[in-house]
């Protein structure tokens, strides 16, 4: 098999196998073919990963931040040199078009390694003057062994978003990819080793949810960073609470995207397309509730349908293709069930809605209009190429309706009126807001959710706080007095 890795796991600098673990078939979503076969980690593999990470972390933390940063930036350079090969692998793992993976996956991972590699040498504490010449100082210390658990939509980017700040701070990481997309994290582990990351500092273990659960439960683990669904997030958060472990939770969303009647219509349509159909709609921050002001509703829909008709659906390895298959048959079935619910509950299907008659897990880009707030497709995260268009009259009304969700990952507004743009952004209950753009997540800016969309932030300097803690040291320059 063309994409068969040397072994399933990467521990202590070496590929490692235990063939008694449950089999994992890696399926190419464009054809349904099995492209690699792996094994879920057994307790022996989990133990090897934990014990090697525990030892290696001390050695890594003893290096200077500048040295760690240099190694991370070297890893970024290797990723950039191998971007095409890594993108081909990512396309086979996820089904995402090569047009996307060459610009948004390994290269986004390289951005993160460069950014946090650059920060590694700047991580210092502070000096705090106290009375009579006494003082305190703070030391920024790594947490220890961190566990990263990933979703299947951006396997390389997610692995780097967790590993880059963790390693910059001097932690070790054990990363468990989604069992649906296990391949690229192994390549990342190889690249880290080649760049000079000491053995055991970045380990990959494969497996289903039970492997993630075993890692989270272990006393040697200080921190868990999960990208996944709300239901998994609740389980992982609860398991981490027993050991009072640090957590970062990057969970789901049902984000609003508001288009006012003064918006630049083509930009707004672009925002709706990027925020619903990129990666076949499998993006947590997607603006799946598109609120369009009534006066421009028909113009918006007309322009949208004309643009969606130009989507080039097909073989994701064809550089012209910009819309690929869903990740799995299971996910496709979930999305189809939402399309059926949309119809049953009275939304108007204006385009798409069907599975393509070809091998693989292809669904058409789908748009529903006349969607109302109570419908299932307007309330629940679908995680597929299904856009719901809703109408609104006033700013006050639409902001209230936009916030009427348990999620708070992202939100967007398209308008030319400056003060309204800022007012609406201030009114949004969401971790990330976009004005006249959508779905950016650069390494430099914080990304994460409020409400049930998560805890903590990834990217940016804020991520450093989630992978390190401060020790305060008090120094007395005087003779110490006591009452007796
Ligand atoms: P899941 O929640 O099903 O799985 C996420 C990861 O957690 C997988 O690796 C999974 O393993 C693992 N897992 C499952 N159960 C447990 C457990 N009890 N303990 C520890 N780990 C466990 O999410 P999906 O992979 O289906 O991804 C889609 C979801 O991810 C969507 O809700 C989406 O919104 C969210 N997401 C959020 C992002 C963000 O940044 N906020 C970005 C991308 C996606 P296994 O797959 O083997 O079950």
Q: What is the mean pLDDT of each run of 10 residues along the chain (484 residues)?
A: 94 98 98 98 98 98 98 98 98 98 98 98 98 98 98 98 98 98 98 98 97 97 98 97 97 98 98 98 98 98 98 98 98 98 98 97 98 98 98 98 98 98 98 98 98 98 98 98 96
Residue 90 Cβ inside 6 Å of ligand 1? The answer reads no
**Ligand 1: distance of its center to the CA of 233 in Å?**
8
Whose Cα sits closest to atom 41 in ligand 1?
250
Pocket test of ligand 1: the residue of 232, 233, 386 to mutate, having most ligand atoms within 8 Å of its CB, is 232
β-strand partners of 36:
26
How confident is the model at residue 284, as a pLDDT? Answer: 97
Q: How many CB atoms lie within 10 A of CB 344?
A: 10
pTM above 0.95, yes or no: yes
**Ligand 1: distance of its center to the CA of 227 in Å?**
6
Q: Which is it for strands 9-11 and 14-16: parallel, antiparallel or unpaired?
A: antiparallel
How confident is the model at residue 243, as a pLDDT? Answer: 96
How confident is the model at residue 2, as a pLDDT? Answer: 82
How confident is the model at residue 263, as a pLDDT? Answer: 98
Q: Is residue 33 annotated as a catalytic residue, yes or no? A: no
**Ligand 1: distance of its center to the CA of 63 in Å?**
33
**Ligand 1: distance of its center to the CA of 252 in Å?**
9
Whose Cα sits closest to atom 48 in ligand 1?
209
- For 226, 309, 324, the CA distances from 315, given in Å and listed in that order, are 31, 17, 7
How confident is the model at residue 1, as a pLDDT? Answer: 75
Phi, psi at residue 247, to the nearest 5°? Answer: -135, 145
Taking alpha carbons only, the member of 83, 226, 66, 201 closest to residue 147 is 226
Taking alpha carbons only, the member of 321, 153, 147, 317 closest to residue 245 is 147
């Amino acid at each position: 098999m063309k994409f068969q890795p040397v072994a399933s796991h990467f521990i202590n600098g070496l590929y490692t196998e235990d063939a008694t673990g449950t089999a994992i078939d890696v399926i190419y979503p464009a054809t349904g073919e099995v492209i690699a076969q792996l094994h879920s980690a057994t307790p022996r593999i989990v133990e090897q990963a934990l014990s090697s990470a525990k030892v290696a972390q001390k050695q890594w933390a003893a290096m200077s931040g500048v040295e760690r940063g240099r190694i991370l930036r070297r890893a970024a350079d290797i990723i950039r040199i191998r971007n095409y090969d890594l993108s081909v692998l990512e396309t086979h793992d996820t089904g995402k078009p090569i047009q996307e993976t060459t610009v948004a996956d390994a290269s986004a991972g390289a951005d993160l390694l460069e950014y946090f590699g650059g920060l590694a040498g700047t991580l210092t504490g502070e000096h705090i003057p106290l009375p009579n010449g006494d003082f305190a100082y703070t030391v920024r210390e790594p947490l220890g062994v961190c566990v990263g658990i990933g979703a299947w939509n951006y396997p390389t980017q997610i692995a780097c978003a967790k590993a880059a700040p963790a390693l910059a701070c001097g932690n070790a990481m054990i990363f468990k990819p989604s069992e649906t997309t296990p391949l690229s994290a192994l390549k990342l582990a190889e690249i880290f080793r080649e760049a000079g990351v000491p053995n055991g500092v970045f380990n990959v273990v494969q497996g289903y949810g039970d492997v993630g659960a075993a890692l989270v439960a272990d006393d040697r683990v200080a921190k868990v960073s999960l990208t996944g669904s709300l239901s998994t997030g609740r389980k992982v958060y609860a398991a981490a609470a027993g050991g009072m472990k640090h957590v970062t939770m990057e969970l789901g969303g049902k984000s609003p995207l508001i288009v006012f009647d003064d918006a630049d219509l083509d930009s707004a349509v672009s925002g709706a397309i990027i925020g619903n159909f990129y990666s076949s709609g499998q993006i947590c921050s997607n603006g799946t509730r598109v609120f369009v002001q009534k006066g421009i509703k028909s113009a918006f829909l007309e322009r949208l349908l004309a643009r969606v008709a130009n989507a080039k659906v097909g073989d994701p390895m064809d550089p012209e293709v910009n819309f690929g298959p869903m990740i799995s048959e299971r996910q496709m079935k979930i999305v189809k069930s939402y399309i059926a619910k949309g119809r049953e509950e009275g939304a108007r299907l204006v385009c798409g809605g069907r599975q393509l008659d070809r091998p693989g897990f292809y669904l058409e880009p789908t748009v529903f209009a006349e969607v109302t707030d109570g419908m299932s497709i307007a309330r629940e995260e679908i995680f597929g190429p299904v856009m719901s268009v809703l109408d609104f009259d006033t700013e006050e009304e639409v902001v209230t309706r936009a916030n009427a969700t348990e999620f708070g990952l992202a939100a967007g507004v398209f308008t030319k009126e400056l003060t309204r743009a800022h007012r609406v952004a201030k009114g949004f209950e969401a971790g990330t807001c976009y004005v006249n753009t959508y779905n950016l997540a650069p390494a430099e800016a914080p990304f994460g959710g409020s409400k049930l969309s998560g805890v903590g932030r990834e990217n940016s300097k804020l991520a450093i706080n989630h992978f390190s803690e401060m020790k305060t040291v008090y120094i007395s320059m005087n003779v110490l007095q006591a009452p007796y």
